């Protein structure tokens, strides 16, 4: 159920009899969070408040102990909008399993979670936690290597992690909901992200840019594969560029280059696009019909807007001009090809 303020959403089991609380919660929230269970099924109570502030999604949940098992990307905090979220245990203990690692969180401890990964949360005691959905723009700005910082414990009593934990534990939902000034909301987000960045660096969890052996997250690997398929289907469009690809996949241009840098096995976006275009040109020139085309037409058909540039990069890759390449493909068509192909 929603408040008048569109930034705020509240859900609670108080609207049904206590004996029906778990069934209600499983129907209302279960489809968003995954398979739900609880040791308190016959007396289940929970309350969930979500507040959107400066692009961050603040989610406060408290009530009966529960186990959540998610097989795919997060639906409650949509992975497309919030690729990562920070989980803080406010009271009691919590076990979390992600990417084959099990972590035990005590009071005030935190962990950064990849919203695209399967997840299992188990709280046999009372549930009481904050979860912050981190939007892509802030992640790219503050946490460029967030994928290497997930499923790792940020202990409450250590340096910047302790300061961030204390900051979040002092937050009050009502006060958070009352913040109306856009400047104050923005400042809150900057404070939180900067402290999280410092905490990760202080704990040695963030790799340096360009470091060898960076782990590619399954999310980035899947996105790279889908982008590669898209490029193969659209390389003939002379207007294809990183901006067009970013718009198609609803990500930033910076993130496009980041995905190719990490998952492209050394091939940048531009190198990948040009490689597909050159392979298409070579395949075209190997055919009788393609070999009879003017080189300029081959260039245009394969996505090159500048025939002179096409000739330059083709020669660099194949060691000869497009015309010479076509003439080598079959002696029977050499005279015809020589008559119509131009450099």
Average pLDDT over residues 37-66: 89
- Residue 3 is predicted with a pLDDT of 43
Query: How does strand 84-89 pair with strand 46-53?
Result: unpaired
Average pLDDT over residues 231-251: 92
What is the value of pTM for the model shown? 0.60
pLDDT band at 135 (very low <50, low <70, confident <90, very high): confident
Structure-model confidence comparison of residues 99 and 272, the more confident one:
272
Contact assessment for residue 145 and residue 108, using Cβ atoms and an 8 Å cutoff: no
- Residue 205 is predicted with a pLDDT of 56
Q: How far is CA 216 from CA 159, 213, 232, 263, in A?
A: 28, 9, 22, 6
Backbone angles phi, psi at 245, to 5 degrees: -65, -40
Q: Does domain 8-202 have CATH number 3.60.21.10?
A: no
- Residue 151 is predicted with a pLDDT of 67
Backbone angles phi, psi at 66, to 5 degrees: -155, 160
Average pLDDT over residues 310-339: 74
Average pLDDT over residues 156-163: 87
Q: Is 68 helix (H, G, I), strand (E, B) or coil?
A: strand
pLDDT in tens, 33-42: 888 898 888 8
Structure-model confidence comparison of residues 147 and 242, the more confident one:
242
CA–CA distance, 330 with 138 (Å, rounded to integer):
56
Average pLDDT over residues 289-309: 92
pLDDT band at 210 (very low <50, low <70, confident <90, very high): very low
- Residue 340 is predicted with a pLDDT of 40
CA–CA distance, 167 with 310 (Å, rounded to integer):
57
Q: How many Cβ atoms are within 10 Å of 244's Cβ, its own excluded?
A: 14
DSSP bridge pairs for 98: 101, 119
- On average, the pLDDT of the chain sits at 82
CA–CA distance, 199 with 268 (Å, rounded to integer):
31
Query: Under CATH, what is the fold of the domain 216-343?
Result: Arc Repressor Mutant, subunit A (1.10.10)
Evaluated on CA atoms 10, 11, 16, 19, the torsion sign reads negative
Q: Check whether 204 has a pLDDT greater than 80.
A: no
Domain map (residue ranges) of the chain: 8-202, 216-343
Q: Check whether 248 has a pLDDT greater than 70.
A: yes
Average pLDDT over residues 130-137: 88
CA–CA distance, 51 with 9 (Å, rounded to integer):
7
CA–CA distance, 269 with 267 (Å, rounded to integer):
7
Q: Which of 255-259, 266-270, 293-297, 326-330 has the highest mean pLDDT?
A: 293-297
pLDDT band at 336 (very low <50, low <70, confident <90, very high): very low
Average pLDDT over residues 318-341: 66
Structure-model confidence comparison of residues 120 and 5, the more confident one:
120
CA–CA distance, 209 with 194 (Å, rounded to integer):
18
């Amino acid at each position: 159920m929603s408040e008048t303020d569109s930034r705020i959403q509240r859900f609670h089991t108080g609207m049904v009899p206590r004996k029906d609380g778990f069934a209600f919660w499983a129907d209302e929230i279960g489809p968003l969070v995954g398979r739900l269970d609880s040791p308190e099924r016959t007396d289940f109570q929970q309350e969930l408040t979500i507040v959107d502030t400066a692009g961050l999604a603040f989610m406060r949940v408290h009530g009966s102990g529960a186990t959540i098992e998610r097989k795919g990307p997060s639906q409650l905090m949509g992975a497309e909008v919030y690729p990562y979220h920070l989980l803080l245990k406010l009271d009691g203990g919590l076990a979390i399993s992600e990417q084959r690692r099990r972590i035990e969180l005590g009071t005030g401890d935190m962990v950064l979670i990849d919203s695209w990964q399967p997840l299992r949360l188990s709280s046999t005691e009372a549930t009481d936690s904050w979860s912050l959905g981190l939007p892509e723009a802030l992640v790219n700005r503050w946490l460029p290597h967030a994928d290497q910082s997930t499923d790792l414990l940020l202990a409450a009593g250590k340096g910047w992690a302790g300061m961030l934990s204390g900051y979040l534990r002092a937050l009050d939902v009502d006060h958070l909901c009352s913040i109306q000034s856009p400047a104050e909301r923005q400042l809150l987000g900057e404070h939180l992200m900067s402290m999280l960045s410092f905490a990760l660096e202080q704990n040695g969890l963030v790799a340096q840019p360009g470091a060898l052996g960076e782990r590619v997250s399954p999310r980035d690997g899947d996105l790279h594969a889908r982008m590669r398929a898209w490029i193969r289907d659209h390389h003939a469009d002379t207007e294809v560029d990183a901006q067009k690809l970013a718009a198609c996949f609803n990500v930033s241009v910076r993130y496009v280059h980041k995905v190719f840098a990490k998952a492209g096995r050394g091939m940048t976006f531009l190198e990948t696009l040009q490689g597909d275009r050159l392979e298409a040109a070579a395949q075209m020139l190997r055919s009788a019909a393609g070999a009879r085309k003017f080189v300029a037409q081959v260039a245009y058909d394969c996505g090159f807007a500048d025939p002179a540039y096409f000739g330059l990069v083709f020669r660099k890759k194949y060691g000869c001009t497009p015309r010479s390449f076509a003439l080598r493909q079959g002696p029977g068509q050499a005279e015809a090809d020589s008559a119509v192909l131009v450099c």
